[in-house]
Amino acid sequence: MNGAWKSYGCIFVAGCLWGTNGLFVKLMQGVGSSSAYTGFVRIVLSFLILTVITFIKEGPKAFRISRNTLVSCALLGLVCQALYNYVYSSAINSLGVSFACVMTYMSPAFASMISYFLFREKFGPNKYLAMTLNLIGCALTVTGGSLNGVSLAASGLLFGLASAVCYSLVGIFGRIASGEASPYVVATYNFLFGAIFLGLFGCPWTTVENPLEPGILFYGFIYALIPTGICYIIYFSGVSRIKESSKVPVVASVENVIAVVIGVLVFGEKVGLSNMAGILLVLGSIMVMNMEFPAGRKRRTKLGIRFGAHGHAAG
């Protein structure tokens, strides 16, 4: 149990660090960066930083990984970095920031379905309740209960669903990759492939006037170091030791709570009762997801054995 709590604790801390993403995005846009270039700089600098850290900590031999781990890391970079950036940005353009963000947090449902077929993870009442509370909580936290101005275009909904699927696969691919390699190596290769795919398909450096603007690189370095590079090391340290990948997106959804807190403290954004209720529901869903509900059938069976239920146990 202590090991499990440490693992989910790592994911919780990673979610808190991810909650600062909006702060760095606004800082970089303030000095001339575009959203596409911000994501690219973050990933490239994270790769360079993690390469140095991994080399110092584990030596050059650590970069020799199995073919299965390499494929998992390539899928992380392609699906969970490059493709996710594309479909999430497209969802924002079609649906708006709030609704696109809410749709992304349908990911626990997709993670549960994929984990059921891939890892044979079981569905319990705590998972159903936690996923319901989490989705409602994320919706209230982000939107405050209002969806005014939302345009429900079919293409936007598809992009939103795709972003949820991509997000749900971070914990699953990360769990597979981290089974044979250290979190440092997995995080490094993740950003290597992410940078390659983003560069090939997006050419994000063409979206800014000066790609080497000192302000962009300065904020980009901090963004890459703390809520990205170090954050992913912590995250993969957690997912490498967990047994239920379906729980990961729910625990990581604390990111929304931190984002709202930063919006209030740093940017003076207003928070209403609906937002506060959403925050409580998100935190509550994390607690519920990690609770163990008693199984009624097993409990009745044990009682039957104890009191000698008409010879079924003895037979």
Q: Is residue 139 part of a domain?
A: yes
Number of domains making up the chain: 1
Residue 123 DSSP symbol: P
Whole-number pLDDT of residue 1: 52
Whole-number pLDDT of residue 85: 86
Whole-number pLDDT of residue 207: 92
Q: Is residue 75 part of a domain?
A: yes
**In which domain, by residue range, is 171 found?**
2-306
Q: What is the pLDDT along the chain (315 residues), one digit of tens a residue?
A: 567 788 999 999 999 999 998 899 889 989 999 988 999 999 999 999 999 999 999 999 999 999 999 999 999 999 999 999 889 888 877 877 777 777 888 888 899 889 988 888 887 888 889 999 999 999 888 888 776 655 667 888 899 899 999 999 999 999 899 888 999 999 999 999 999 999 998 899 999 999 999 999 999 999 999 999 999 999 999 998 888 888 899 999 999 899 889 988 988 888 889 989 999 999 999 999 877 666 544 444 444 434 333 343 333
Of 114, 94, 104, nearest to 21 (Cα)? 104
User: Cα–Cα distances in Å, from 84 out to 91, 186, 197, 298?
Assistant: 10, 18, 11, 42
Q: Is residue 315 part of a domain?
A: no
Burial 38-49 (b: 16+ CB within 10 A, else e): bbbbbbbbbbbb
Which amino acid would we find at residue 152?
Answer: L
Whole-number pLDDT of residue 161: 92
Q: Is residue 314 part of a domain?
A: no
Q: Is residue 311 part of a domain?
A: no
Q: Is residue 114 part of a domain?
A: yes
pTM score over 0.75: yes
Q: Is residue 312 part of a domain?
A: no
Q: Is residue 263 part of a domain?
A: yes
Whole-number pLDDT of residue 179: 83
